[in-house]
């Protein structure tokens, strides 16, 4: 019996997030109020009573999801005993904090810096992403590789669902060619830029020093990292893969397959939403999945 705890990425935010944790758990309240001090503004006011649009602000979205996830993990107390962890994109930082590889304050500072660095990279290179449904990964990769311009596979979410990332022009060309090749849908996403593509190189360079100067400890269990989908416990390797993450694809399909191959028998999603549970069900419909539940 092996439990995998997984942590969601951007897009899982919702108005009112983490308010029940703040109001019902003293440790959660302490962590969230400390986060307000670290960030220099009251992010909790936006999380608890802000609008959906306010939650989409660059400086808010990623730290808010991170905070909901890591505070939830802390509230699980002794019941949080993972055999393995992973996080989707931003969620990798949440997973590292929950698994004691990163300190809470260090993790929050990195996430806040990451969000702003990504925003600046988006402003330098106007770009976008698109979800491709119903086509083999290898076919998507092949078509993208032949297109003149930057367009790459960015998020391997589950079999038959691959998100591509690149310049606006190259994404338009790719969507047309992938639809012609038999994709059920090629849907451009309402995102600010080409995440997990070479166009994020300015953000990667900006974050490199911050990550290099952050202490990373041996986690309490292996973390399956986005860049290569393999379980890691070596702090040096974890750091290097964190640096590479912004310009590399999120290999979530491969992470799920790896966790199952390594004996995962249950998946618990920690944080807002149920997206990752749904993706695991696409790989193994009989796998027990659930949202983390805390007690006061």
User: Do residues 65 and 9 lie in contact, with contact meaning Cβ atoms separated by under 8 Å?
Assistant: yes
Half-sphere exposure of residue 128, counting CA atoms within 13 Å on the CB side?
16
Question: Mean per-residue pLDDT for 221-249?
Answer: 97
User: Do residues 101 and 73 lie in contact, with contact meaning Cβ atoms separated by under 8 Å?
Assistant: no
Q: Give pLDDT, residue 255.
A: 98
Nearest by Cα to 223 from 203, 245, 200, 204: 245
Long-range contacts of 236-240 (CB under 8 A, 24+ apart): 238/96, 238/101, 239/211, 239/212, 239/214
Nearest by Cα to 6 from 72, 57, 61, 60: 72
Angle (CA) 207-209-211 rounded to 5° is: 65
Q: Strand pairing partners for 84?
A: 4
**How far is it, in rounded angstroms, from Cα 283 to Cα 265?**
13
DSSP string for 120-187:
HHHHHS-EEEEEEESS-HHHHHHHHHTSSS-EEEEEEEETTEEEEEEEHHHHHHHHHHHHHTT-SEEE
pLDDT band at 191 (very low <50, low <70, confident <90, very high): confident
Question: Mean per-residue pLDDT for 215-233?
Answer: 98
H or E stretch covering 86: strand 84-87
* Domains in the chain with CATH codes: 2-123+198-291 (3.40.366.10), 126-188 (3.30.70.250)
Residues in the chain: 296
- Out of 94-103, 117-126, 189-198, the most confident range is 94-103
With pLDDT > 90 as the criterion, what percentage of the chain qualifies?
Answer: 93
Catalytic (active-site) positions:
89, 196
Question: Mean per-residue pLDDT for 224-251?
Answer: 97
**pTM, rounded to two decimals:** 0.96
**How far is it, in rounded angstroms, from Cα 24 to Cα 295?**
9
């Amino acid at each position: 019996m092996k439990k995998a705890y997984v942590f969601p990425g951007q897009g899982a935010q919702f108005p009112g997030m983490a308010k029940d944790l703040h109001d019902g758990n003293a440790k959660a309240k302490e962590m969230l109020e400390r986060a307000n001090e670290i960030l220099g503004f009251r992010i909790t006011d936006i999380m608890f009573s802000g609008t959906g649009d306010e939650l989409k602000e660059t400086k808010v979205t990623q730290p808010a999801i991170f905070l909901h996830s890591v505070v939830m993990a802390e509230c699980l107390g002794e019941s949080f005993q993972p055999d393995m962890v992973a996080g989707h994109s931003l969620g990798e930082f949440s997973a590292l904090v929950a698994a004691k590889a990163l300190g809470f304050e260090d993790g929050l500072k990195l996430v806040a810096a990451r969000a702003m660095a990504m925003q600046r990279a988006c402003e330098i290179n106007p770009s976008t992403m698109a979800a491709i449904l119903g086509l083999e990964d290898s076919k998507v990769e092949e078509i993208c590789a032949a297109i003149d311009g930057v367009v790459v596979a960015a998020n391997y979410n589950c079999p038959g669902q691959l998100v591509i990332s690149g310049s606006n022009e190259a994404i338009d060309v790719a969507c047309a060619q992938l639809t012609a090749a038999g994709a059920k849908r090629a849907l451009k996403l309402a995102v600010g830029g080409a995440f997990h593509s070479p166009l994020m190189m300015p953000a990667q360079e900006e974050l490199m020093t911050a990550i290099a100067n952050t202490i990373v400890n041996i986690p309490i269990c292996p973390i399956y990292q986005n860049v290569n989908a393999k379980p890691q416990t070596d702090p040096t390797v974890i750091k290097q893969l964190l640096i590479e993450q912004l310009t590399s694809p999120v290999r979530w399909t491969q992470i799920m397959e790896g966790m199952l191959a390594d004996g995962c028998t249950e998946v618990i999603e920690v944080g807002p939403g149920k997206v990752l549970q749904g993706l695991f069900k696409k790989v193994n419909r009989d796998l027990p999945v659930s949202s983390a539940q805390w007690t006061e």
